[in-house]
Structure 1
Amino acid sequence: MVLFAAALSWRIYQVQRAPTVPNWAVTACVAGFAAAFLLQQEVISDEIDAVIGLGAARVANNALLACAVCALVIFFLGSTLGPVRRYGRVAVELIPLGAAIALMVVAMDLTPPELRGLPLGPSTIHDSGVALFYLGAGLYLIYGLIACTAWILRYQRVADRNLRIGLRMGAVGLASAAIGSIFRAAYIVVAWAFGPVVKVLLLLGVPFVILGGMLFLLGVTYPGVRARVSALRRRRQHRREHQALAPLWTVLVQAFPSIVLRTPPRRRTERLSPRSIHRIHYRRVIEIRDGLVQLSPYLDADFGQVVATDPRAAAGALKTALARHAAGEESDGQAKQVLPAPADDIESDVRPLLALSAAMES
């Protein structure tokens, strides 16, 4: 239940950020599995049977499992097909789901009252209603799990590394659950059609289903967990870099107070947000670059290369230029290249600035 709660909480968070059809489908899938797991607990199932009738909890449990698998199929359809084809295929997928749920309801109604709601076993398997109920539910699960496994194997070819690992874990989990469902279906067919009860088939199915469910949940949560871990590392890195750039930023702000960017007032929740460190980090980098550009007329033309090759020498040249600027000396009036080379992104500018700031501090 802890795994279900963690996975469902994460999926709800994702839906709030991006309420797309695939996100809703995966959330519905996890919610269906979690609700089905709760209905398997005797305390809850007994209460439902007492209110609605014997066998109601068993029908609801298997119907929720079928809906969860159908939602997972819809997720892959929504992720790979266009909008027109997607909605058509979703409508088609609802047909076998509705047929399976209807079959479960009819089979439970045909089951003698004393057998309704009882688990599958040697004492119940020879009843036609019980056998039909579990076989109908099992066949739909087998279909859905195999279909989802096939979709995952196709989809993981174009996924990024973290998502690919999660998809593979999910595929192994779904395949394992499908194998467990096949063992249970074989147990039902052999006992119902031919008479002998092969208990080993039912016993083999249980660990496959349990292992498959856990692997599937781990696969669903793995990309999100990895993304959160990467985000935490990135925040820690930006916090360290923000502090490390303070010596360089301080001397430039003292020389050029106008480089400090004005920002609109923010709400308290935004200021306390963990992501705010990225904003103040990039702001500091931009202000430092602006200060260096304003100081560049007092620097030599090769200052950018000196920063890359000898940060201590660059720090000395920077201090000399700051002293000349403070004394009001004349400059050549021409802006210079203050960083080693034009960077593709702001992150590439940070490394030479960190080295220059460390040299300024020492």
Structure 2
Amino acid sequence: MILSAALLVMLWGLAVARLPTIWRDATQRALTAAVVALAISRTAAFAVEHHWARAAVLQHLAALVAAYFLLRFLLLATGRGRRWHVASAGVVLALLVVAGGAVVLAPGLLDGPLTPGVAAYWVLLDCYVAVALMAGATVFWTIGAKLPARWSVAALRAIAAGAGLLALDASFRAVVTVLLGAGRTLDVAAMGPPAMVGQAAGGLLMVTGGAVTTYPRARAALAAYRSLVVLRPLWRAMRDAFPEVILFSPRRAIVELAGVDDVHLRLYRRVIEIRDGMLALRGYLDGTPDDPGPEGEARRIAEALRRRAEGAEPSGTTAGWAHVGPGMADEVAWLGRVSSAYRRLAKRPVSSPPAARTPRPSGSAR
């Protein structure tokens, strides 16, 4: 019970975290679809454990879909040919047709007598799931052996071990089905609880390994989102003063809310737009800064924006801004401190020295 609940929480968390990757490519879409289908299957299995028998159909069909997308992910990742994709899709389609007809015409597929046709269906289904999972275990174990970082090796081997456990479970169920179909007497009820524990343990290993592998990218994405928020006051001032520096439309910016790579591209673009605005603002600077820190830089920006708003003519000589390190991380860190200082200047009371106001939002999705 506790193991199954923990697996469900982690599985759905991983499924939600992977949703932005559907924008990337077919390989990532296949893996995300496999995770979502597995989450649906395990949720239905949890419902079956609590005597919601109708969920058994959803459990097994979702497991079939998860196995298909896992195999498709492996085929795409390893560069296998089109015939393998067609064969995999053909097996799944045949199983879905048989299962759909059996559920409609013969509802005893899941809990009725084990006829030769029903036994053949379950053996084929379990063998397909076992092959997909064992192929996944082999690929993840092989990739993990080539990685230098120990935590990456441990994470991929955990995924491989979980997939291997689930493959053994599917193979065992296929053997049991064959024996039952041959007329052997087995205590199926006694086999149920250990099998459920094995399934939950295998799924938990896969989910834990998958979560560990995505942690560095997730942490980097969260840091990029935070930098976007910190840079927004300064970027908004430049956007309203110089609309021509904006590189993409607000609609494109909404799309770039999703995906780890997209948010880094969006941050890179925001830094460029701020720098373009500051470049256009240089003609309104007055001398060299008294304070070389971020507060002094923010005051110079505010004063330059104020002079421009008052209609002052740009000077012929252009002063420069503070020198920043060569890397993008240096730019983001420095402009973030300047943006925070600029935001504090915009909140000064009216009696204080004049500063350029932070422009009101103009409806941009950024």
Q: Which stretch has the larger CA shift, 191-200 or 232-241? A: 191-200
State how far apart, in whole Å, the 1-side matches of 2:187 and 2:199 are: 18
Deviation at 1:80, TM superposition (A): 3.0
Matched, 1:234 2:234: no
1:94-123 deviation per Cα after TM superposition (whole angstroms, max 9, x unaligned): 4554676688799x79xxx8965328xxxx
Deviation at 1:191, TM superposition (A): 5.8
Matched, 1:20 2:26: yes
Matched, 1:175 2:164: yes
Q: Which stretch has the larger CA shift, 231-240 or 127-136? A: 127-136
Aligned-residue Cα RMSD (Å) equals 5.9
- Among 124, 142, 162, which residue is 1:136 paired with? 124
Partner of residue 76, structure 1: 74
Partner of residue 49, structure 1: none
Deviation at 1:206, TM superposition (A): 2.0
- Among 228, 239, 243, which residue is 1:262 paired with? 243
State how far apart, in whole Å, the 2-side matches of 1:37 and 1:63 are: 12
1:234-254 deviation per Cα after TM superposition (whole angstroms, max 9, x unaligned): 3334444666x79xx99xx9x
Instruction: Give the partner amino acid of 1:261.
Output: F
Q: Secondary structure at the match of 1:118?
A: coil
Deviation at 1:139, TM superposition (A): 2.2
Partner of residue 331, structure 2: 349
**Matched length:** 310
Instruction: Give the partner amino acid of 1:79.
Output: A
Q: Secondary structure at the match of 1:197?
A: coil
Matched, 1:212 2:196: no
State how far apart, in whole Å, the 2-side matches of 1:44 and 1:184 are: 19
- Among 85, 89, 92, which residue is 2:87 paired with? 92
Instruction: Give the partner amino acid of 1:45.
Output: R
Deviation at 1:209, TM superposition (A): 1.1
State how far apart, in whole Å, the 2-side matches of 1:23 and 1:212 are: 23
Instruction: Give the partner amino acid of 2:85.
Output: V
Instruction: Give the partner amino acid of 1:236.
Output: R
1:282-335 deviation per Cα after TM superposition (whole angstroms, max 9, x unaligned): 544554466569869x559xx9xx96xxx59x98xx9xxx9xxxxxxxx99697
1:22-53 deviation per Cα after TM superposition (whole angstroms, max 9, x unaligned): 4146416633662685487465728xxxxxxx
Matches within 5 A, 1:117-196: 117-118=110-111, 131-156=119-144, 157=146, 167-188=156-177, 195=184
Q: Secondary structure at the match of 1:136?
A: helix
Seen in structure 2, the aligned counterparts of structure 1 residues 162 and 24 have a Cα distance that, compared at 3 Å, is farther
Name which structure has the greater RCO, CA cutoff 8 Å, separation 6+: 2
Deviation at 1:144, TM superposition (A): 1.5
Q: Secondary structure at the match of 1:339?
A: coil
Matches within 5 A, 1:264-343: 278=267, 283-288=273-278, 338-339=322-323, 343=326
Greater Rg over alpha carbons, structure: 1
Partner of residue 66, structure 1: 64
State how far apart, in whole Å, the 1-side matches of 2:337 and 2:323 are: 12
TM-score by length of 1: 0.56
Partner of residue 360, structure 2: none
Instruction: Give the partner amino acid of 1:27.
Output: A
Q: Which stretch has the larger CA shift, 143-152 or 200-209? A: 200-209
Instruction: Give the partner amino acid of 1:144.
Output: A
Instruction: Give the partner amino acid of 2:135.
Output: A
Contact 2:11–2:207 (CA<8 Å) still a contact in 1? yes
Mark the runs of 5 or more structure 2 residues left unpaired by the alignment: 1-7, 305-314, 346-366
1:118-140 deviation per Cα after TM superposition (whole angstroms, max 9, x unaligned): 28xxxx77x75665444333222
Contact 2:27–2:73 (CA<8 Å) still a contact in 1? yes
Partner of residue 45, structure 1: 54
